[in-house]
Chains A and B, each alone.
Chain A
Amino acid sequence: MNEKSMSNENLLTVKHLSRYYSALTAVNNISFHLQRGEVLGFLGPNGAGKSSTMQMITGNLAPSAGQINVCGLDLLDNSKKAKAHIGYLPEQPPLYRELSVNEYLRFCAQLNRIEKSKQQASVDRAKERCGLNEVGKRLINNLSKGYQQRVGIAQAIIHNPAIVVLDEPTVGLDPIQIRQIRTLIRELAQEHGVILSTHILPEVQMTCDRVQIINHGQLVYSDDISQLNQRMQSNSLILGLNNAPPESELNALHYIDGVEALGNNRFRLSHSAEHHPAEEIARIAAENNWALFELNPEQKTLEQVFVELTSGEVIHTENNEGAAA
């Protein structure tokens, strides 16, 4: 937060951006901005228009309408200079697989017009940040998917751009690599502005300062991550009792509005928004020897938040299957 107040500098301003593919509207009148020192999460289901938006702000796709301003430069009128401020990792990393990591990054440094004397330093720094030091001499083709993804990120940050755009950077990585990449994204945000697109909600919750949800080409939500977290709280909890009393007894508990049996001795309890009854339930369960094995405030899934944001209705689905064990 203090980073933001420290440098309140708009790196990227997008106004009324639209993109049509003949009859299909991929992106419909989107406006947003990005400041230095923040990670902006672009969240949406597949086909929502995330990638099209990313492609437009990096100059890979011409918008049908709208303005994109990068560090004070119009991307359409002054594209060469504007592009120098952007680093982009597309969904599929743009690699030349026949080159070694060093050769490839050196080429990227040249492409981004880094002075000859500074090229080696830039390559070394990008390799260092992305953990590529041991694989510098290997061919990109022979690297694992995770390493290839890191080479893709190294390519995006090699010229130290003001804006780093990462399109689904953690797809196909193992959990350890995902954690490393998320840490790297947080690090990048210290000096750059980062735009991150994903359809994985926890990723946004872990890495982003601000989140925008896009659906059917439209921004349906845009706020700080804390606001989203609040929205994600639903007024229900999952209760697991091996020695369960009749449902009516559960229903009689304080602040409980409804009980729904889920089978396997598990119940969903709806409660009022103002009071959180978990503490009291735990106490009563212990007193009455109900053999409590699970007590879990329910979080809405991304899909549920979507549906709420787009249609305003609240739905319930079982989403804690894994937590039961």
Chain B
Amino acid sequence: MMVLTLARRELRSLFLSPLAWAILATVQFILSYLFMSQLQEFLLIQSKLASIENAPGVTELVIVPLYSSAAFIMMLVTPLLTMRLISEERRNRSLALLISAPISMTEIIIGKYLGMLGFAAIMIFMMTLMPLSLYIGGSIDAGLLFTIVLGISLLIASFMALGLYMSSLTAQPTIAAMSTFGMLIMLWIIDWAGGKADATASGLLEYLSMLRHFEAFSKGIFSSSDFIYYILFISLFLVLSIRRLDGDRLQR
């Protein structure tokens, strides 16, 4: 499979640079610190919770905040991961290698994207080890854990699709990172402008917000409309990236 060859190369190059290791280490450190403090707080109030009927459990009080923080941190980190995908190849003029090879633009984009997803899978696996460790001392809500892991996977995959597209627009990785970052924050906070405005407009803004769709997953709700939002988001930016890369050939 050609896309897998490309994905493997992408992942390998990522791990050959110190950046990937630095990101993995930093994110893991911050998240485990958050996890520990949340867990400690939970242990302090555990006795009080026991007296309340239908009280939130460890999953709601420790795991959900962990993934919410992870979502925010990944919004900051993803632009750094995706910025080099195409822009650096364009700057180094190595894109000609891929374009001259008997592969299509679609394969190039999908291959690079899969490489990124591979990295995302490693990160999500690393952060999920923490909630799983709670199985040692008790039980957690496996269903909620599953939906929230799915939610964050879709969220990070969307970040990466956007980052890939931004990287395909420029030959400067830093510009790609900055514009990805701007777009992500914009899509994160876009629904804040709603509320007081008229209902249809704020409904649209709410629908566009990435955070809103993630919130449902973090309540343990798997709603197909949220799922479709992310799938549409990813497909849109992948198609745009393919078109952009193809545009290189047509016009310059």
Report A's interface with B, CB cutoff 8 A: 21, 55, 58-62, 80-81, 83-84, 86-88, 90-92, 94-99, 103, 107-108, 110-113, 155
A92-B93, A110-B5, A155-B97 given; A62·B250 CB < 8 A: yes
Query: When the two chains form their complex, are residues A98 and B17 in contact, meaning their CB atoms are under 8 A apart?
Result: yes
Contact-residue size bin, chain B (C-beta under 8 Å from the other chain): 20 to 34
Pick from A59, A81, A110: contact of B99, CB under 8 Å: A59
A-contact bits for B87-128, CB 8 A (1 contact / 0 none): 000001111111111111000000000000000000000000
A232 to B9: give the CA distance in the assembly, Å: 49
Pick from A86, A103, A110: contact of B100, CB under 8 Å: A86
Q: List 5 A-B contacts (CB under 8 A).
A: A60-B99, A90-B93, A96-B13, A97-B92, A111-B6
A81 to B102: give the CA distance in the assembly, Å: 6
Query: When the two chains form their complex, are residues B249 and A111 in contact, meaning their CB atoms are under 8 A apart?
Result: no
A96 to B115: give the CA distance in the assembly, Å: 16
Query: When the two chains form their complex, are residues B100 and A88 in contact, meaning their CB atoms are under 8 A apart?
Result: yes
Report B's interface with A, CB cutoff 8 A: 2, 5-6, 9, 12-13, 16-17, 92-104, 249-250, 252
Pick from B6, B13, B102, B250: contact of A80, CB under 8 Å: B102
> Least Cβ distance of A171 to chain B in Å?
14
Closest CB pairs A-B (n = 10): A94-B97, A94-B94, A84-B102, A111-B101, A88-B100, A92-B93, A110-B5, A98-B16, A83-B102, A62-B249
Pick from A61, A96, A99, A113: contact of B102, CB under 8 Å: A113
Query: When the two chains form their complex, are residues A111 and B103 in contact, meaning their CB atoms are under 8 A apart?
Result: yes
Query: When the two chains form their complex, are residues B93 and A94 in contact, meaning their CB atoms are under 8 A apart?
Result: yes
Query: When the two chains form their complex, are residues B5 and A94 in contact, meaning their CB atoms are under 8 A apart?
Result: no
A88 to B100: give the CA distance in the assembly, Å: 7
A80 to B123: give the CA distance in the assembly, Å: 35
A61 to B95: give the CA distance in the assembly, Å: 12
Query: When the two chains form their complex, are residues B101 and A83 in contact, meaning their CB atoms are under 8 A apart?
Result: yes
Query: When the two chains form their complex, are residues A98 and B13 in contact, meaning their CB atoms are under 8 A apart?
Result: yes
Query: When the two chains form their complex, are residues B94 and A96 in contact, meaning their CB atoms are under 8 A apart?
Result: yes
Residue of A nearest to B95 (CB): A94
Query: When the two chains form their complex, are residues A80 and B104 in contact, meaning their CB atoms are under 8 A apart?
Result: yes
| Cβ–Cβ < 8 Å partners of B99 in chain A | 59-60
Residue of A nearest to B5 (CB): A110
Residue of A nearest to B97 (CB): A94
A18 to B10: give the CA distance in the assembly, Å: 35
Residue of A nearest to B247 (CB): A62
| Cβ–Cβ < 8 Å partners of B16 in chain A | 98-99
A107-B9, A108-B97, A111-B101 given; A61·B249 CB < 8 A: yes
**Given A60-B249, A80-B103, 9 additional A-B pairs, CB 8 A:** A60-B96, A61-B252, A84-B102, A86-B100, A87-B100, A90-B93, A94-B92, A111-B97, A155-B97
